[in-house]
Structure 1
Amino acid sequence: MFTNRYFKFVASLAFIALSSQAVLAEEDMLYIAGTRPAERPAQAPVITSVSKDGAWYQNALQGVDQPYPHSLRFLEDQGNWFSPFTHPGMDSPYDLRHWHTKP
């Protein structure tokens, strides 16, 4: 009824369960993202300033003709987080801002 493979499987599960309890009991454990999404770890890096020079604006406004629309003023408040507006999107024929066109 019970095979050697079954006992190896049960022994493996028991080992994993017991070893994971020992790891959880450790007090100096590193922070694992996703286990407590409402908490920010104390050792996490903090962005204190954002520098946007002319090259950043030139890249962000690629393919947009002057005068720039008022709706693009959100770029003034853009931080160092990801924004799909400042990265290339789909290829032609959907490449309206010519990100993928070679000069």
Structure 2
Amino acid sequence: MQMRHFIYPLVQIALLSLGANSVQADDITYVAGTDPSERPIGAPVVTEVRHDAAWYTTALTGVEQPYPASLHFLENQGNWFIPFIHPGMTARYDIRGWHAGK
């Protein structure tokens, strides 16, 4: 019985303090992901992607010339992550030799 007399006031104090601390924003700010079709004003825009020779050397590790036409996608590759240009599994699954020197 006494525990209830202790917990109820505590819960009431907690709820009152939460209500007292709530603040409403004057201006609505942009939250990423709420409207994917809309970019915020002033957001950076990638206008050009350049890959140097070192990037192509890394991307084509373990691939012999003449390079197959299926690798044409590298010409249009942006700066996003793709697993093709990073080392993968080791041992017998390492068909491109990413881990051969280790």
Q: Same fold (TM over 0.5)?
A: yes
Task: Give the equivalent residue in structure 2 for 1:81.
Answer: 80
Q: Which has the larger radius of gyration?
A: 2
Q: Tell me the distance in 2 between the aligned counterparts of 1:34 and 1:16.
A: 27
What is the letter of the counterpart of residue 49 of structure 1?
A: E
1:8 is matched with 10
Matched, 1:26 2:26: yes
Aligned in 2, Cα 1:33/1:68: closer, same or farther, shift over 3 Å?
same
Q: Distance in 2 between matches of 1:54 and 1:69?
A: 18
Task: Report sequence identity in percent.
Answer: 51
CA deviation vs aligned residue, 1:38-76 (integer Å, no higher than 9, x gap): 432223221111111111111110011111111000111
For structure 2, the 5+ residue unaligned runs are none
Match of 1:49 in 2: 48
In the aligned structure 2, how far is the partner of 1:76 from the partner of 1:69?
A: 13
Number of equivalences: 100
Superposed CA RMSD: 2.7
Q: Which amino acid aligns with 2:51?
A: K
1:35 aligned residue:
34
Q: Encode CA deviations 1:13-58: one digit per residue, 9 max, x unaligned.
A: 55446645x25x23164x3323333432223221111111111111
